Amino acid sequence: MYVTIQELAEYLSVPETEILKLIHNGKIRAVYDGEQYVINKDQFDSHLRQMGRYWEVLYDYLYEPVPNDTDLRDND
């Protein structure tokens, strides 16, 4: 599904100028149809899914409870 810069900016909650900058720097693939840029939205959906999985793993790691082991000292 192709979207305009305005629609993508709303979807990602970023300014339109940021989207344009990323297009011109080659960070976002876009097609110019003669009047405006259109962007394939699927490239962001897969990225956002991957980032969601990354944050889940990070959250699990950071908030893993510390075991209640009373023998934490090294007596050597």
pLDDT tens digits, one per residue of 11-43:
888 899 998 998 999 888 899 989 999 999 888
- How many Cα atoms within 13 Å fall on the side-chain side of residue 27? 8
Tokens 């990225």 belong to 47
Q: Say which CATH topology domain 2-62 has.
A: Molybdopterin biosynthesis moea protein, domain 2 (3.90.105)
Q: Using N-to-C axis directions, what is the helix angle for 5-12 and 16-24, rounded to 10°?
A: 110
Per-residue DSSP letter, 30: E
Under the banding of pLDDT at 50, 70 and 90, the label for residue 45 is confident
Q: How far apart are CA 30 and CA 28, in angstroms?
A: 6
Is the overall model pTM greater than 0.75, yes or no? Answer: no
- How many Cα atoms within 13 Å fall on the side-chain side of residue 45? 7
